[in-house]
Chains A and B, each alone.
Chain A
Amino acid sequence: MRLGACGREKEVAEMLARGHWPEAASGELRIHVEGCRGCRDLVLVKQAFRADRTAMAGRARLEPPGVLWWRAQLRRRNAALAQIGKPILGAQIFSVAMTLAAAIFYLAWQAKRGYGWLAWLQQFPRALHLEALLPDALSKYPSETWLVFSGLAMLAVMSGVIAYMASEKH
């Protein structure tokens, strides 16, 4: 198979690209194209594709450029936020790890001393006379009730924080 066999293909291609074919072509070149398979194919294919390009371009239903601009801005901003969020997430993980380590260290230290701090915690509501605020029905419960209440309050606060963080991510 001979590739690019015809030396006049370039000349024909240039005329086609400028839109000069066939009006500006010499009679001799036209006769050559009639007899040369490569040049004839080139003219046929080039004209077909150019005509089809014009027809197809007219059929395009384009989105307004402003919408694409806005979407690209949004995508870029989200990517930037995700990039910024990475060190913040790392700092959060680090702080949680440090807090846990400190809590474990403190518990271990207290365990060695015999949990004396629990007695102090039990005395804490009495020291503040908080039982005076409770209704009579609740006053019969032991002071450990405060531990349950504070635990529930902590759970409620944590649930709120988690729900807020989850909704913020969305």
Chain B
Amino acid sequence: MSAAPATPAKDAPRRNPTNWRSDVMQRRIARRYASERLFKLAGLGAVLLSAGFLAFLLISMLGAGLRGFTRTEITVRIDFPASELQLAPAAVNARSLIAANLPAVVGDAADKALGTGGATLLSPGAWLTLRDAILDDPSIVGRVETISLPASTEIDLAAKTGGSPESEAAVERLRKAGLLSTGFNSTFLTTSDGTDPTQVGIWGAFKGSLLTMVVTLLLSFPIGVATAIYLEEYARKNWLTDIIEVSINNLAAVPSIIFGLLGLSIFLNLLHMPRSAALVGGLTLALMTMPVIVIAGRNAIKAVPPSIRDAALGIGASPVQVVFHHVLPLALPGILTGTIIGMARALGETAPLLMIGMRAFIATPPGGITDPATVLPVQIFLWSDEVSRGFVEKTSAAIIVLLVFLLAMNGLAIYLRNKFEKRW
């Protein structure tokens, strides 16, 4: 046996076989499992913590806000033939009721039915409820009628959560007489901002938000998608497109108030567009939303496999046909996701709209995009600033309306996204 086995080189000493059962090795493995468990627990803890915050937010808001959708009503007996209101049922209309001084009729009837000071127990807008009832059924002006009218803010709060001793005593008295009831606050869903908490509504702000969102979507979606397509499919890579790309990415991160200042100086001061209008709000928010849509659109377009482009080009489709027949349909779900994110951000935006005057007190719902309007988040901001305690629950109720709006919008977008995904 002359041939010695190949000896290992001097600088590479032979390693002993690993002893996987040694204490050191076992400890190392135990440590690795321990850190695995720790990481899992930390993640679980984070999820539970955020779920807890969310639950707290929802519960506190629902607790305070749902009361805003109800109102306390007082049953008042009105003897129309004996009152000042001397109108034949045929002569009843909105104007004649004002001329006949309906508010005074309600006040007198309340004083009569509820005792001295009865009128102050009712909301200053109680006569509006009566007016609507009379317009619905004019025949009641010829007889004695009992009708539920909204209570004043003090009585409303005292009945719901408690208030001053006097109003609590009044509530107690009314409750014993069986005159107090709770009804659905339809006023809140049908009117706009006002000075008395029992009379304010969210409809004006809701409509303002809706109009603003429509303007934003109609501008930012087509422009954003067209920009994304151009940059991804047509633009040559050079310093100019690099600058455009960096600028768009930066725009997406610019604080929203800056966009408000931009809107103020361009749309209002330079172009003299109407102040406080949904048009200007929508334009301003479109500037803010567009970069988000461009970035999401570019990523979605980039994610379309090149083989699909090759296939279409290979049978002689023109670049435009490739984009509109193949790339865009495949990228649409991704583009829609980006649009949802951008629109949701725009819907919740307050700061830029303050700059263009959408924080004005506007007591009628906007009729179009050039009418003065406000939006839900600004309305929430304005009401949270009010002194009267009655606005607290209105603020929370408005937040609920905003969140429902947001959920509905996202739901629609998710539905559309799934629909387009299924088509392929």
A binds B: no
Q: Which residues of B contact A (CB under 8 A)?
A: none
